[in-house]
Chains A and B, each alone.
Chain A
Amino acid sequence: MRRHGRQPRGGRQPLRLRAFLLAAAILALAWDAGSLVRRTRRGPWRVEVAGESMVPTLRPGDWLLVDPTAARWPRRGAFVVVREPGSDLIVVKRLAGRPGDRVARGDGPPMVLGAAEAWLASDAPGSAVDSRHYGPVDVDRLLGRVALRYGARGRFGRVR
Chain B
Amino acid sequence: MSRLTSWLRPTTIAHAHCDIPCGIYDPADAVLAARTVARMVELIGKLPEGATSVADRNTFARCVAVKEQHAEKVKLEVAEIWSDYFKPEHLAAFPDLHTKVWALLKLAGKCKQTVDAQAAADLEAATKEFADMFWATKK
Which A residues are closer than 8 A to B by beta carbons?
A: 43-44, 46-54, 58, 60, 63-64, 81, 84, 87, 89-93, 122, 124, 126-129, 133, 150-151
Contact with A along B69-95 (1 / 0, CB 8 A): 000000000000000000000000000
Can you give 8 A-B contacts (C-beta < 8 A)? Answer: A48-B13, A51-B15, A58-B16, A90-B13, A91-B16, A127-B19, A128-B17, A129-B18
By the criterion CB–CB under 8 Å, are B18 and A51 in contact? yes
Question: B13: nearest residue on chain A (CB-CB)?
Answer: A50
- Residues of B1-59 at the interface with A, using a CB-CB cut-off of 8 Å, are 8-21
By the criterion CB–CB under 8 Å, are A49 and B20 in contact? no
Chain B residues, Cβ within 8 Å of A46: 10-12
- 7 tightest A-B contacts by CB? A47-B14, A44-B12, A51-B16, A92-B14, A46-B10, A51-B17, A53-B16
Q: 9 other contacts beyond A44-B12, A60-B16, A91-B17, with CB at 8 A cut-off?
A: A48-B10, A50-B15, A51-B16, A84-B15, A89-B15, A90-B13, A124-B18, A129-B21, A151-B8
- What interface size band does chain B fall in? 10 to 19
Tell which of B13, B18, B21 touches A53, judged by Cβ atoms closer than 8 Å. B18
For residue A87, give the distance in angstroms from its CB to the closest CB of chain B: 7
By the criterion CB–CB under 8 Å, are B18 and A81 in contact? no
Distance in angstroms between the alpha carbons of A54 and B16 in the assembled complex: 6
For residue B65, give the distance in angstroms from its CB to the closest CB of chain A: 26
Chain B residues, Cβ within 8 Å of A90: 12-15
For residue B22, give the distance in angstroms from its CB to the closest CB of chain A: 11
Distance in angstroms between the alpha carbons of A47 and B11 in the assembled complex: 7
Question: A126: nearest residue on chain B (CB-CB)?
Answer: B18
Distance in angstroms between the alpha carbons of A93 and B20 in the assembled complex: 15
Tell which of A47, A48, A127 touches B20, judged by Cβ atoms closer than 8 Å. A127
